[in-house]
Structure 1
Amino acid sequence: MTPVEPPVEPRLSWYARPAARAWTTAPAPVGVRAFHAALPEYAPTPLTELPSLAAELGVGRVFVKDESARLGLPAFKALGASWAVHRVLAGRADDERVELVTATDGNHGRAVARVARRLGHGAHVFVSGGVHPGAAAAIEGEGARVTRVDGDYDEVVRLAAAAAREPGTVLVQDTAWPGYEEVPRLIVEGYSTLFAEVDEQVAAAGAGTPDLVAVPVGVGSLAQAAVTHYRSRPAGRRPAALLAVEPTAAAPGLASLTEGAPVTVPTAETTMAGLNCGTLSSLAWPCLRDGLDAATAVTDAQSAAAARDLAALGVSAGPCGAASLAGARAALTGQGAAARRATLGADETATVVLLSTEGAAANPYSAA
């Protein structure tokens, strides 16, 4: 009988910056959480403890921040879109109607379309070629005009920015470039509500403060919000280690951190469609460079396995959301894990938070 070869483990891509937790920055502005709390759909999303994952990862406690139902949508993006649109449109006449324009790999575009519909504005959403037709249809279902582009995310962003030069339009993009940073900054501020909830929920569970937070990364805006929150040092909060997780098919963060300068990378198809970005936000880059403890990249297969395991434990996670667990597994287990765990301060007593940024319903790709 021919022996069966064991599966080959993918080579781990890894970057670490041991000095990251000594770096500090200014906190997000006050008022964001109160704005969200006043929205009729607002409720803190669940923080689910999963002891079996803590045992697997060799840490004290593991919590998953479940963003599968945020402000009526199956992903976290509405936090940033709602706050940014609120601030951008402040001071305009109530009867002044605009068209909100954006590019998307899925969830951000739907969030912008939902906010536009709720406020009585129009929306024009450009979607990249890798976006599943079901995700595009969901955006159209919010009343948006959808333009499909046969190109990658960077190309879609360029086309949306060009369209937003027309009178009566406002570009609501979650990535920044030189000369376009105000709205992306507001979107990052909007995400601060998520991390405020995490801290309150971890403390309420008797786990103190997070020791390690794993964050999926596309253009880097959510990771920027994580860095801003956990490096701003309010009284009584220890600096958490921050792990960025990207798809191997699109990992500009890992490439940029390794190079020490922003790098645009070619992208390939991935089930982690919402993370399929080749260029980091220019606003996010300095924060990620200085404030991230580590970065890694995971395969579609690793993400799919994580999504299946989370589903079995009662957490709905799409491929992007499951990337956090896949990244934590890559970092904390396997060959060379002792050094990586030391970098992250992830010992047997550590409290780990995995950000599951989208539910399974947010991404029509199968996790199987």
Structure 2
Amino acid sequence: MFLQNTHADYRQPLDPRDAEILGMEAADAVERHLAFRENHAETPLVNLPALAAELGVASIHIKDEGHRLGLGSFKALGGAYAVIRLVLEEAARRLGRAVDVSELHSSDVREVAETMTVACATDGNHGRSVAQGAQLVGARAAIFVHAGVSDERVATIARFGAEMIRVDGTYDDSVREAARIAAEKGWTIVSDTSWPGYERIPGLVMQGYTTLVREALRAMQQPPTHVFIQAGVGGIAATVAGHMAIAFGDERPTFTVVDPARAACLFETARAGHPVTVAHGEPTVMAMLECYEPSLVAWRILSRVADAFMTVDEDEAIAVMRRLADPAGNDPAIVAGESGGVGLAGLIRAVGNPEIKQALSLDRQSRIFLVNTEGATDPGKYEEIVGLSPAAVARKNKTGASA
């Protein structure tokens, strides 16, 4: 399925609140915060010239977030950043003075953090980031996971000392339960999705993601002409599209949002022209994107700056995982989890469909930017799908052959 943006807000300026969240000064602040993270390092921007030639475009660059902050996904930038910001703000309130990120590990800030509990719902990656952020500052974390989250992903979050709470139902059920329990107990919800009356903290989470865009643009000799980004509730797609709209103005790249067909909440929202909740059906292999209700902030941004919306099927997501693990020509291998390569799946579908290709003006001059949003966050599942362990795929780049 494919549709172009026909919303009344399309190509209108960003809401001032969103422009502030995703603007240059905010992105500078995120990078300064990251400078105080012990394991912070830029993630690689991977060039795939053989794949670009095969698909008939000028270039394909993938920002590989499978290496981010030891957590294996772009979510490492969001939840932990929001937790740190909230702890510093609470410390400033209690101490009656400004508190800088350089004081993050001071006894004053630690004493405040120890009185705080942060909570969130997660498919796996966001909860890991929130839990890590809480551990960094000495706060408690309560992470709500729905029935579809694998035991391996739960264990990975729990190792950061978080209290794990299982919830029957879907991701959206776990979001509602987390909000309910947090309100009862006075915990702070650090969600990556937003709802009426709850926007600022999801905005901070999205603000954290601006770093991957800044890093990628600095590494490119020429800016991209086209961007394909996968979406769950829409946070990463809205961040990339919104920040690029601010950075490039009218010269921004053509932006396409890619949904799993089985959880296409943003596609259906774009079709309806307003936020909608899609029915929960058969689970998708794209587990980190299995969301049935969009973030209101994300939709407010994407309604203005996304050019098109499309869906991909289960077999396409799986094929891309295998294709990145066993690349064409001399392209490097990339370990992409079940949701990591969905933007590439969208690109492949687009170039293979003459109508979509023409609608997006894809041709041999097109420069494509994608994000591998996660590595093998469930290594067992990855090996089951790809037929090789994540380590064996990674070794290809060192040996030139499968290990």
Taking structure 2 as the reference length, the TM-score comes to: 0.82
* Partner deviation per Cα, 1:223-269 (whole Å, 9 max, x = no partner): 1101211111458x930111111111100000010111111002331
Q: CA deviation at 1:344?
A: 2.4
Shift in alpha-carbon separation, 1:363–1:278, aligned structure 2, 3 A: farther
* Partner deviation per Cα, 1:282-314 (whole Å, 9 max, x = no partner): 111111112111111111211011001101131
Partner letter of residue 161 of structure 1?
A: A
What is aligned with 1:315? Answer: 334
Distance in structure 2 (CA, Å) of the matches to 1:21 and 1:46: 32
Partner letter of residue 331 of structure 1?
A: A
What is aligned with 2:344? Answer: 325
Q: CA deviation at 1:121?
A: 1.2
Does the 8 Å contact 2:191/2:202 carry over to 1? yes
Say whether 1:197 aligns with 2:215: yes
1:230-241 alignment runs, 5 A limit: 230-234=244-248, 238-241=251-254
Distance in structure 2 (CA, Å) of the matches to 1:180 and 1:361: 29
Shift in alpha-carbon separation, 1:276–1:363, aligned structure 2, 3 A: farther
* Partner deviation per Cα, 1:15-49 (whole Å, 9 max, x = no partner): 11389984443342241222223322111111111
1:42-191 alignment runs, 5 A limit: 42-93=40-91, 94=109, 95-96=111-112, 97=114, 98-191=116-209
Shift in alpha-carbon separation, 1:183–1:305, aligned structure 2, 3 A: same
Say whether 1:303 aligns with 2:317: yes
What is aligned with 2:242? Answer: 228
Say whether 1:246 aligns with 2:259: yes
Partner letter of residue 73 of structure 1?
A: L
Partner letter of residue 17 of structure 1?
A: N
Distance in structure 1 (CA, Å) of the matches to 2:360 and 2:216: 19
What is aligned with 2:370? Answer: 354
Does the 8 Å contact 1:21/1:239 carry over to 2? no
Does the 8 Å contact 2:79/2:127 carry over to 1? no
Q: Return the match for 1:291 from 305, 320, 331.
A: 305
* Partner deviation per Cα, 1:67-107 (whole Å, 9 max, x = no partner): 11101110010111122112212233420221110000110
Q: CA deviation at 1:155?
A: 0.7
Shift in alpha-carbon separation, 1:190–1:144, aligned structure 2, 3 A: same
Does the 8 Å contact 2:43/2:63 carry over to 1? yes
Of stretches 28-37 and 61-70 in structure 1, the one that deviates more from structure 2 is 28-37
What is aligned with 1:266? Answer: 279
Percent identical across equivalent pairs? 36
Does the 8 Å contact 1:76/1:357 carry over to 2? yes
How many residue pairs are counted as aligned between the two chains?
348
Structure 2 unaligned segments of length 5 or more: list them: 92-108, 328-332, 387-403
Q: CA deviation at 1:167?
A: 4.4
Does the 8 Å contact 2:122/2:143 carry over to 1? yes
Matched residue of 2:233: which SS? coil
Does the 8 Å contact 1:18/1:343 carry over to 2? no
Say whether 1:211 aligns with 2:253: no
Taking structure 1 as the reference length, the TM-score comes to: 0.90
Q: CA deviation at 1:340?
A: 2.1
Distance in structure 2 (CA, Å) of the matches to 1:168 and 1:17: 40
Distance in structure 2 (CA, Å) of the matches to 1:167 and 1:225: 31
Q: Return the match for 2:289 from 275, 289, 297.
A: 275
Partner letter of residue 185 of structure 1?
A: G
Matched residue of 2:227: which SS? strand
Partner letter of residue 50 of structure 2?
A: S
Partner letter of residue 323 of structure 2?
A: D
Distance in structure 2 (CA, Å) of the matches to 1:77 and 1:328: 23
Distance in structure 2 (CA, Å) of the matches to 1:356 and 1:21: 27
Shift in alpha-carbon separation, 1:63–1:362, aligned structure 2, 3 A: farther
Matched residue of 2:229: which SS? strand
What is aligned with 1:341? Answer: 357
C-alpha RMSD of the superposition: 1.9
Does the 8 Å contact 1:69/1:359 carry over to 2? yes
Report the structure, 1 or 2, having the larger helix content: 2
What is aligned with 2:5? Answer: 17
